[in-house]
Amino acid sequence: MMSDRLCVADPATYRRPVTDAPPAPATDWARVLAPRSVALVGATGRTNNPMARPLRWLTERGFAGAVHPINPKYAELAGVPCAPSLADVPGGVDLVLALVPAERAAAAVTEAGAAGAALVIVFASGFAEVGPEGRARQDELVAAARTAGTRVLGPNCQGIYDARSRLFATFTSAGERPLAGSSGIAYVGQSGAVGGSVLDVAAERGLDLTAWVSTGNEADVGLTEVGRHLVADPDVDVLTVYAESLPDPAGYEALAAEAAAAGTALVVLRSGRSVPGRRAAVSHTGAMLGDDTAFTLVSRRYGVVLVDDVEELLAAAVVLRGHRAPAGRRLGLVTSSGGAGILAADRASEVGLEVPELTAETQEKLARLVPAFGAVANPVDVTAQLFNVGGGFGEVCGLVRADGAVDAVLVLLTMLVGDTATDLARDLVATVAEQGPDAPPVAVVWMAGEDGTAPARTVLRDAGIPVFSSIALAVRVLDAIAPHPRSDPVAPEPAPPVDGDGWALLDALGVPRPRALTSTDPHETTVAVEELGGRAVLKAVVPGLEHKTEAGAVRLDVTTDAAATVHAELAALPGCTGVHVQERVPAGVELLVAVDGGRDGWPPVLTVGHGGTATEIHHDVAHALAPVDAATARSLLASLRCWPLLAGHRGAAGVDLDVAADAIVRISRAAAVPGLGELEVNPLVCASNAALLASGARIATSSPARHAGAVAVDVLRTEQ
């Protein structure tokens, strides 16, 4: 009936909201997380059943509210009187746990609404995740909640735990742990199994979560709604999130913005970020725009920390709970082993973290503590000799942490065990505490067995200093919490409607382009080539043909004398409706600049990259939320591998970057075009004389239904 497993169905499908349901009432979270009374519909006396856990935990582990088991088969359960129905509970209830099979869940929701419940947790599986019949059952559940005036968490979820109210409204086996504290770290996630792992591993490491919520199928209450409440909770310093799908992108952006405004760190682990086949790629842009690009850009804009597994999720939360996030991406390394320092520097370089040389003043101070055969520039290698003479390690770490060239400190320890390890840990903790939480964060990698370092690790973890056994993992976490490039919102300017081809839109946006016309007559083509200076580019107009060069539909440098012949050859191609005659473009650096009009509810994305016919081979692209300003446009260009060609390579003249940035800004404004699916300019030719010419363009409208799994955009015109 209930399941800890991850469902194999596409989460975007079974979490799709019911579109014709009336608006949901506001959730009274005070009554949900700190209820005065909890009713358990379908409570069981079978103690070996997981569904018996909530009643046992609520009655034995400090919950102060009233507990009402509901089951007509019993007179009492767990020493508590058992009512035959919710209607028999005097005074109503705040929270209802529906411990019943899927087919009885809607009736339980109706009864809960009549009893005045603020929310019903439906644990049962067998809803939209199992197919059309289950989807209909889930829709019925939502309809019952709307009619009854209550909210539903789930179905197919594992419920809620709140440390402050001692609310155990869950059956996850992780709840068997003592869970006696409150770490200031909260969790909300869509997978019950992953959520249970987070709760369990955190508790094993002495990080009892403050609040924990599993949302399941999200028929009604979703992850972003829960998250928005938790980031505003004064007891929550860090909110950790696990998401399989985000059917409410606007809600996610609001969550990220509100977390940033509240000063609550938001750490997100999202799966399904590279699902193959979710969107067909019919253009260069489609091939280069990942399924998670807009999600990542929105996250970066508000400083959300993105991680790749549960270990990173918890480690990042620990770092951010006790310290501010790093102000930059410069890493100070302190090590007891030169080899470990080199490994860490290598891993840091791979993820884009700097390992800068420390200031001369800091090096001078370190030289008084570190043996002469050590190193003080960064990495700082104290050698084993420092521990043989006793003391000074905490002071070394403090000096590195105080250096203005450092944004975070990674301490690398090897075979230091036993009492020496514990003393070292206490020394480091004292230094970190003395410098305060506003100093750069500190993390430790201890490359020694747990048995010889367990007390030392406990000392560090109790002080909020994360301890890793892997250099690579530690560096990934520090990379995740360090700032990443992001752009501030730019107010969109009015843009013309999509009522013409790509050239017309570029003209309206003010993007320069070569002179051109479309011809259906060889003589007309000859005259046009002559008027364009006696040489031109000819392209076959073949609706639906995406890559003309590969199909032999493009001829370069066609002379007036050859124009009629080339026209006839192109016109003979299958599906050709005319010949496009275009002014030649001067040689220069070719860029791809494209705007995705917004997919699946996410904001529009601008893509800038190395363009031309080999753009997929280069795969040299950068993205930003559209529209952008000139500063963002320049930063996108500077991030490309082809940047030296733009700046001027080996004596070659560079392009006018101001002109290039202006063209990118203008193209990005197409994001405001109603119904735009995609505008792609390829190539945008940046010549050395500062002339920018769009010699290829493509425009598409969005499909009517934009949900995860929708087909690619519909091409209007590809004649350009």
List, as one string, the DSSP characters of 108-150. Answer: HHHHHHHTT-SEEEE----SGGG-HHHHHHHHHHHHHHHHHT-
Per-residue pLDDT, 500: 59
Task: Determine how β-strand 211-214 pairs with β-strand 185-189.
Answer: parallel
Place 717 in a pLDDT band, splitting at 50, 70 and 90.
Answer: very low
Per-residue pLDDT, 69: 97
Compare 423 and 255 and report the one with higher pLDDT.
255
For residue 167, which amino acid is it? L
Distance CA(15)–CA(215), nearest Å, equals 10
Q: Of the candidates 498, 536, 541, which has an alpha carbon nearest to the alpha carbon of residue 518?
A: 541
Bridge partner list, 693: 685
Of 279-288, 351-360, 444-453, 662-671, the one with minimum mean pLDDT is 279-288
| Model pLDDT for residues 84-108, shown as the tens digit of each residue | 999 999 888 999 999 999 999 999 9
Per-residue pLDDT, 287: 44
pTM higher than 0.85: yes
Bridge partner list, 54: none
Helices 471-481 and 310-322, packing angle to 10 deg:
60
Other Cβ atoms closer than 10 A to 76: 10
Per-residue pLDDT, 12: 67
Per-residue pLDDT, 282: 34
> Alpha carbon 476 to chain centroid distance?
15
Q: What is the three-class DSSP state of 564? A: helix
Please enumerate in sequence order all residues whose Cβ is within 8 A of that of 405, keeping only pairs 6 or more positions apart, or say none. Answer: 330, 332, 356, 357, 358, 359, 362, 378
Please enumerate in sequence order all residues whose Cβ is within 8 A of that of 380, keeping only pairs 6 or more positions apart, or say none. Answer: 332, 333, 334, 335, 341, 358, 366, 370, 374, 396, 400
| Model pLDDT for residues 110-121, shown as the tens digit of each residue | 999 999 999 999
Q: Average of pLDDT values for 279-301?
A: 64
Per-residue pLDDT, 690: 61
Per DSSP (E only), the strands in 392-498 are 408-413, 442-446, 467-468
Compare 165 and 6 and report the one with higher pLDDT.
165
Per-residue pLDDT, 156: 94
> Alpha carbon 49 to chain centroid distance?
37
| Model pLDDT for residues 574-629, shown as the tens digit of each residue | 999 999 998 888 888 889 999 988 888 899 999 999 988 777 788 899 999 999 99
> Alpha carbon 273 to chain centroid distance?
8
Q: Average of pLDDT values for 232-250?
A: 94
> Alpha carbon 423 to chain centroid distance?
40
| Model pLDDT for residues 396-421, shown as the tens digit of each residue | 999 999 999 999 999 999 988 899 89
Compare 281 and 273 and report the one with higher pLDDT.
273
Return the percentage of the chain with pLDDT > 90, whole number. Answer: 64
CB 483 within 8 A of CB 325: yes
Per-residue pLDDT, 714: 28
> Alpha carbon 392 to chain centroid distance?
41
- Given a cut of 60, whether residue 288 has pLDDT beyond it is no
Q: Average of pLDDT values for 487-506?
A: 74
Of 146-160, 250-264, 270-284, 287-301, the one with minimum mean pLDDT is 270-284
CB 558 within 8 A of CB 581: no
Distance CA(247)–CA(249), nearest Å, equals 6
What are the chain's domains?
11-319 (3.40.50.720), 328-481 (3.40.50.261), 515-583 (3.30.1490.20), 588-717 (3.30.470.20)
Compare 710 and 618 and report the one with higher pLDDT.
618
Instruction: Report, in this order, helix, strand and coil percent for the chain, each rounded to 5.
Output: 35, 20, 45
Per-residue pLDDT, 689: 67
